[in-house]
């Protein structure tokens, strides 16, 4: 099956690594997301797979129409995510798209509408569901190990540097730190706890290394439709010398607490002392996505999840921009 890539920002690695594991897949083409984008850094990785030499296109529409790929990894400058995804879906081409999949509610509505009319599948790159520690925490909650979960708080912390793309400086191109960083934590929270009832968020640009609109940090607090509440703190303030994975979550329930910390997951309950949760071998997100399309298994994330988590992120961004509480 022919797989193509559009754009070289973000996490095309998920797609490339997935193709590596699938004997019947090949990356046959790479297109720039917009004029002047350099996609050359992707080529060596692709050539490493079965010696494939992908065709490089300066026009992604031309690539779609000529190559007719089975599926596309979409990861150009973030403001182009929705437009390209829509064109793929209209052509019946399956899409795995970098987040945020829409820059505003209008884009999200159009994307949902086009998806509804398309036979193609769509999913956002909320890949942390496939990270072994978060998956173990999720599965332990669903297995009832801490009883009813009540309180869930998370941290998503990235390091910043002056090497980040220049478009991070503009909200209209980058989308904001809530939609790029905190959205991962919104996704895993939604996965574990279900829908949100109220959202309040705050963010600031202090310490953003001169990156204009780009928020350095923020917080989101929320209540869940099924009861209970949670919060997220997110930032680009991770120290450059910090060797600990700073993506964390803690889920406190009626019978105990589960924590994800530094690539591991732990549980402590009223009945049993602290122990580490066993992690399953990590699976490829893209491979699971393709297999689910072929009816050979389930993917941990689908289009509806992607749309809802994107909506939550856009609501949180709006709450933070306006300093208002939003009932969802």
Instruction: Kindly list the residues in this chain that would bind its own copies in the complex (CB under 8 A).
Output: 147-148, 150-151, 153, 155, 157, 198, 200-204, 206-207, 216-223, 227-233, 235, 237-244, 250, 252-254, 256-257, 268-274, 323-325, 327
Sequence-ordered list of residues with C-beta below 8 angstroms from that of 288, at least 6 positions apart, any chain: 130, 297, 298, 299, 300
Q: By C-beta, is 157 or 310 nearer to its own copies?
A: 157
Task: Please say which residue, 271 or 296, places its beta carbon nearer to its own copies.
Answer: 271
Q: Which is nearer to its own copies, 97 or 221 (CB)?
A: 221
Q: Determine contact, residues 187/264, Cβ cutoff 8 Å.
A: no
C-alpha pair distances (Å), 105 with each of 81, 87, 102, 189: 14, 18, 7, 21
The rounded distance, in Å, linking the Cα atoms of 175 and 162 is 18
The Cβ-side half-sphere exposure at 125, using a 13 Å CA radius, reads: 24
- Tell the smallest beta-carbon distance from residue 248 to its own copies (Å): 10
The encoded tokens of residue 131 equal 């990270």
Smallest separation (angstroms) from its own copies to the CB of 203:
7
In the complex, minimum distance from the CB of residue 212 to its own copies, in angstroms, rounded to a whole number? 17
Report, in Å, the least distance between residue 136 CB and its own copies.
Answer: 18
Question: Which residues partner with 6 through β-bridges?
Answer: 31, 74
**Nearer to its own copies by C-beta: 17 or 204?**
204
Q: Which is nearer to its own copies, 91 or 264 (CB)?
A: 264
Which residues, 6+ apart, have CB-to-CB distance to 112 below 8 Å? Answer: 307
Rg (CA), the chain: 20
Omega of the bond leading into 100 within 30 degrees of 0 (cis): yes
Question: In the bound complex, what is the minimum distance in angstroms from residue 146's beta carbon to its own copies?
Answer: 9
Q: Which one, 196 or 289, has the nearer CB to its own copies?
A: 196
Collapsing DSSP states into helix, strand and coil, what is residue 298?
Answer: coil
Closest approach, Cβ 102 to its own copies, in A, equals: 25
CB of 11 to its own copies, least distance (A): 24
- Residue 306 gets the label, from left (phi > 0), alpha (psi -120 to 50) or beta, of alpha
Asked if 95 contacts 115 with a C-beta cutoff of 8 angstroms, the reply is no
Comparison of 16 and 178: residue with beta carbon closer to its own copies? 178
């Amino acid at each position: 099956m022919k797989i193509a890539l559009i754009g070289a920002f973000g996490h095309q690695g998920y797609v490339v690594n997935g193709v590596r594991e699938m004997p019947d897949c090949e990356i046959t083409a790479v297109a720039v997301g917009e004029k002047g984008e350099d996609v050359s850094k992707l080529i060596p990785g692709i050539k490493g797979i079965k010696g494939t030499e992908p065709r490089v296109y300066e026009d992604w529409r031309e690539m779609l129409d000529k190559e007719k790929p089975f599926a596309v990894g979409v990861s150009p400058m973030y403001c182009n995510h929705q437009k390209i995804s829509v064109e793929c879906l209209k052509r019946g081409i399956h899409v795995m798209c970098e987040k945020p999949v829409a820059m505003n509610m209008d884009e999200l509505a159009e994307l949902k509408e086009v998806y509804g009319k398309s036979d193609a599948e769509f999913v956002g790159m909320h890949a942390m569901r496939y990270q072994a520690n978060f998956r173990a925490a999720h599965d332990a909650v669903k297995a009832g190990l801490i009883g009813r979960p009540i309180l869930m708080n998370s941290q998503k912390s990235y390091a910043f540097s002056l090497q980040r793309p220049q478009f991070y400086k503009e909200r209209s191109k980058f989308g904001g730190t809530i939609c790029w960083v905190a959205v991962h934590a919104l996704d895993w929270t939604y996965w574990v706890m279900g829908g949100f009832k109220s959202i309040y968020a705050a963010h600031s640009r202090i310490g953003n290394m001169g990156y204009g609109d780009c928020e350095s940090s923020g917080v989101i607090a929320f209540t869940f439709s099924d009861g209970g509440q949670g919060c997220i703190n997110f930032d680009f303030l991770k120290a450059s010398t910090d060797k600990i994975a700073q993506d964390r979550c803690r889920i406190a329930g009626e019978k105990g607490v589960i924590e994800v910390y530094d690539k591991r997951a732990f549980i402590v309950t009223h009945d049993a002392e602290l122990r580490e949760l066993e992690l399953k071998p990590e699976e490829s997100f893209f491979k699971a996505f393709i297999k689910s399309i072929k009816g050979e298994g389930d993917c941990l994330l689908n289009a509806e999840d992607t749309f809802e988590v994107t909506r939550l992120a856009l609501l949180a961004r709006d709450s933070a921009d306006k300093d208002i509480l939003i009932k969802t």
